[in-house]
Amino acid sequence: MSKRNKIVLFHPYVPKSSIKAIKQVLNSRWIGQGSKVDEFEKLWEEKISFSHRAIAVGSGTDALHLAYILAGIKEGDEVIAPIFTCTATNIPLLYQKAKIVFADVKKDNLNIDPEDIRKKITSRTKAIVVVHYGGFSCDMDEIQALADEYGIPIIEDACQAHGSVYKDRKIGSISDFTCFSFQAIKLITTADGGMLTIKDSKLASKAKKIRWFGINRTAKLKDKWDNDITDVGYKYQMTDVAASMGITALKEFDQTLAHHQELAETYRQELEGMREVKYVGGPSICTIFTKKRDEIKKALEKEEIESNQVHYRNDKYSIFGGKINTCPNMDALESKYLVLPQHYYLNIKDIKYICSIIKKICR
């Protein structure tokens, strides 16, 4: 019997058409920000964000920071944010010197809990940040109702939610601001990159200035710039090399997403009904809750299958001030979640094999 290849946790997927597109850009005059960035933004609006303007940037973290600036978050403002997420969600709030108020996760998944958001809103709350963990959508109706009640904006971290839908509406076309990442292991990758979608189209020109040193780049290239900078800017623009990858990947994204959804559904079917395992995955990251996490992880390692926690509760990092005691659901789930392999190069047979090992541990 031949030895099975190692099954890795994540694996970047770059379509062949992207490689051809990169070569064309590298042989052109523009390899930095040029017409391909504009084309990618337009295509994103057509397929994902619709009336919400799309601003291409250098990373998902850039998109988040830009959203926080545009939302008017300043020193001392309180921002309700998820306790469980990639640190990239919350670190840019430190750039703004905001006070992060961590909200708990829900009992049955790792998304932010709307009930806990309500408990933690004060007169000083400037914004609500939510994360669609693994591509599984948050309870946006409940969260939007809170935002409307208190008159505060919602910033969605959709860095793991390419193509995700909430009640027939695509993520990226709902809230005031939505941030996407095209980092290496995302469903759409530009090696690194990001996209910010903005509900208020009037903010688009300001966003474009801030992403390029605070300069009106369009006016400068046309020699019509007034040679002044009125907003502190950053080097957050996307390049045409990255945009060319994004364009080609987005054009065939329906196929990519369908494959990931099929893998996620196979996990769900295979693990359904197990008393000791609860599947909470989405198309981007597939996660289980189990008291036998360490045992399952060791069994998978023995078969050369990677698994890990990937993300951790942010309050435990020193930069955020240390562990808090106001998130009991996170406390209960902290030692129980495990991320399973999920990427384009897996097939249904691989998923069933992974699940068969889990079933041996949790009969």
Strands 337-340 and 286-289: antiparallel
Those residues whose C-beta lies under 8 Å from the C-beta of residue 298, and which sit 6 or more positions away, are none
Q: What single-letter DSSP state applies at residue 46?
A: I
Across the strands, what pairs with 81? 102
Cβ neighbours of 359 (radius 10 Å): 14
Instruction: Tell me which of 36, 106, 170, 186 is the catalytic residue.
Output: 186
186 is catalytic: yes
What the block records as the tokens of 5 is 């290849």
What is the Cα–Cα distance from 180 to 49, expressed in whole angstroms? 11
What is the secondary structure of 268-312 as a DSSP string? HHHHTT-SS-EE---SS-EEEE-TTHHHHHHHHHHTTB--B--SE
The helix/strand/coil state of 227 is coil
Across the strands, what pairs with 288? 279, 338
The residue among 358, 165, 219, 191 whose CA lies nearest residue 279 is 358
The catalytic residue positions are 186
